[in-house]
Amino acid sequence: MESQQDKLRRHFAGRVTTQARVVLEAWQQLKQQNWADAHWISELQHATDKLGRYAARFDMHDHLKLAQSVNSVLKKVALHASEPVKEQSQSLDDLFDQLAQLTGRKDDHASQEEIGSDQRTYLKAPIYICLNSQPDSYKVLKQLEFFGFRGERYSRLADLEAAILNRRPEVLVMDVDFGGRPKQGIALTKLLQARIEAPVPTIFIADRTGSIELRLEASRAGGEEFIEGSGNTSRILEKIEQYTRHHNQDDPYRVLVVDDSKAQAAFMESSLKKAGMPVRTVTNPMDALEAFQEFEPEIVIMDMYMPGCSGTELARVLRQDDRFMSIPIIYLSAEEDINKQLDAMSVGGDDFLVKPINPKHLVATIHNRGRRARTLNALMVRDSLTRLYNHTHILSLLERAVSSSRNQDQPLTIAMLDIDKFKSINDTYGHPAGDRVLKTLSLFMQQRLRKSDAIGRYGGEEFMVVLNNTSMSDAIRVMNDVRESFSELSHPMEDQEIHVTFSCGLASLETDDTVQILAKRADVHLYEAKHRGRNRVIPEKGLKETP
């Protein structure tokens, strides 16, 4: 339990550190504007106030003290707005120097590397925003902040060029007509892409209808996306998240090798491990089913001719189990008869490699088959709108989490949450607007929760979150943080912006709980939250709710 508390403390320390960086960015922007931009004064006040709230909640006293001191100076500036701010500016400089040192310090309960390994809320590189419309730029920057991204706005060509050559951004959002000149954004992006080692994913924004010629020019300049309308912040944010999300496509593939030749199995294992892949070898085909269940491979390399059980016979048995139906099976044999190869492929096989196999050819085949299998698997287990796990798969993950929790004697808490007054949103603004809210909440949770937490769309506007190795008290803090932050997010609807909330019920695993009982208890607390006025977290009885 102490280890889990430390882990969550590191998670929250990272949240405070991220907000501190937002404060420092607002301060730099304000200084660049020479205190002439009221927007950035407001941004600084808002960001610092949030830093203070986070620091107080997560018991980070040094950050809290600095946030309070900055707020005190900002109040003096507001009271004497007509007077020179030189003295206050110097005081703020000193305070922000302290905050910068504190933010970069390695003893905020964990190193930055440790924090970054277990959260999604801070990106090492910023997002560069280059839009001609200042209000639209600020909207995008504000949305990025809510989602845990760090954005930087550039309105001048020289500043952008210096920034991008000094530090490669995670994503570049570029106005097609940057600087007010037709297609200058395209020309500039093409020039910059040629001067850096790795291309930057670029999202082009156009305030006019994109002809095929314009879109083609943007694509040739490295544009990954083309969006019409700089005010389409939801679409812009969705694409930014898409290009910054750490997909599991880059994770190494788990490979099971089934070959009765110990020498051949050792060669395959060595070749694949050099490519960074976890490998399990089985030299007795009768042990393959047990290895499947324990190792859960993503790809199987199987010898065709083995004593006691041929590769095609084993493949036929494995395909009878729905759990193994989608796993690619690659046959490996010295067999060169094309007809026999085709016969083998017709019995559950996906590819055929002839011995002796070149290691590079082997690794390339694994990558090609693995990538396709993961893509197909994602289509099967994820909801098409939100890209979260679908109802069936989130229950399957909950079942695994229950088993793991009991085996390892670790706490497990689940959250059921439901968007408040969602029918009213659909009725007032239309179903496409409701879909945007669902997608926004989905993206928000993926950014704010840990990688180890499973998030699924349970049905309609209801979601389930499986909080692995998390006690009830910690789950209250986590879900309340998500709820409060989401309620502050603005959703553009027609000619106005609205705020949306959700209600949440929590339940922790008990000794005799089945998956169905655990989910039902969380659902009961969710609807209790609805009846008590919505926009709140209701835990198990005996623990204080969070209004």
Percent of the chain, pLDDT > 70? 85
Radius of gyration of the chain (CA): 27
Q: Is pLDDT of 38 > 80?
A: no
**Predicted local distance difference test score (pLDDT) of residue 535:** 96
Summarised one tens digit per residue, pLDDT across range 298-313 is 999 988 888 888 888 8
Highest mean pLDDT range out of 55-64, 99-108, 120-129, 168-177? 168-177
**Model confidence at 365: pLDDT above 60:** yes
Given this model, what pLDDT does residue 239 score?
A: 84
Share of the chain above pLDDT 90, in %: 32
Q: What is the mean pLDDT of residues 212-227?
A: 91
More confident: 376 or 262:
262
pLDDT of residue 453: 92
pLDDT > 90? residue 538: yes
State the average pLDDT over residues 1-17. Answer: 61
pLDDT in tens, 452-476: 899 999 999 999 999 999 999 999 9
pLDDT at 466: 96
What CATH code is assigned to 391-538? 3.30.70.270
Chain segment 366-397, per-residue pLDDT in tens: 888 888 888 787 778 889 888 899 999 999 99
Contact 537, 479 (CB under 8 A): yes
Is the pLDDT score of 441 beyond 50? yes
Domain limits, the chain: 1-114, 255-379, 391-538
Q: Over 90: is that where the pLDDT of 518 sits?
A: yes
CA gap 176, 202 in Å, rounded: 11
User: Is 70 exceeded by the pLDDT of residue 493?
Assistant: yes
Reported confidence tier of residue 37, pLDDT bands at 50, 70, 90:
low
- What is the pLDDT, as a whole number, of residue 478? 92
Give 200-252 as a DSSP string: PPEEEEESS---HHHHHHHHHTTEEEEEE-TT-HHHHHHHHHHHHS--GGGSP
Question: Residue 105 has what pLDDT?
Answer: 40
Torsion of CA 259, 264, 266, 270, to 10 degrees: -110
333 vs 336: CA distance, rounded Å? 8
What is the second-level CATH architecture of the domain 255-379?
Answer: 3-Layer(aba) Sandwich (3.40)
Least confident of 108-112, 247-251, 327-331, 337-341: 108-112
Spatial contact of 133 and 230, defined as CB atoms under 8 Å apart: yes
How far, in Å, CA of 404 to CA of 512, rounded?
15
- CB-CB contact of 273 with 255 (8 Å): no
The three-state secondary structure class of 93 is: helix
Read off the pLDDT of each residue in 62-74 and give the average, rounded to a whole number: 86
CA distances from 193 to 132, 155, 178, 196, 483 (A): 20, 18, 16, 6, 39
pLDDT: is 206 or 113 the higher one?
A: 206
Residue 542 has pLDDT above 70, yes or no: no
- Average per-residue pLDDT for the chain: 82
What pLDDT does residue 88 have?
Answer: 66
Identify the residue with better confidence: 51 or 101: 51
**Interval 142-151: pLDDT, tens:** 888 777 778 8
Residues in a beta bridge with 257? 281, 301
Q: Which long-range contacts (CB under 8 A, 24 or more apart) does 449-452 make?
A: 449/120, 449/478, 449/482, 450/11, 450/118, 450/119, 450/120, 451/118, 451/119, 451/120, 452/118
Side chain identity, residue 478: V
Mean pLDDT within 164-180: 88
What is the rounded end-to-end Cα distance, in angstroms, of the chain?
A: 27
For residue 414, the cross-strand partners are 466, 507
Phi/psi of residue 155, nearest 5 degrees:
-120, -10
Residue 46: predicted pLDDT: 81
Mean pLDDT of 438-444: 90
539/252: higher pLDDT: 539
pLDDT digits (tens, 9 = 90+) for 87-129: 667 778 788 878 877 765 433 333 333 333 333 334 457 899 9
H or E element in which residue 114 lies:
helix 112-116
Is the domain defined by 1-114 classed in CATH 2.60.40?
no
Comparing 255 with 28, the larger pLDDT belongs to 255
* pLDDT confidence band for 12 (50 / 70 / 90): low
pLDDT at 71: 84
Evaluate if pTM is beyond 0.95.
no
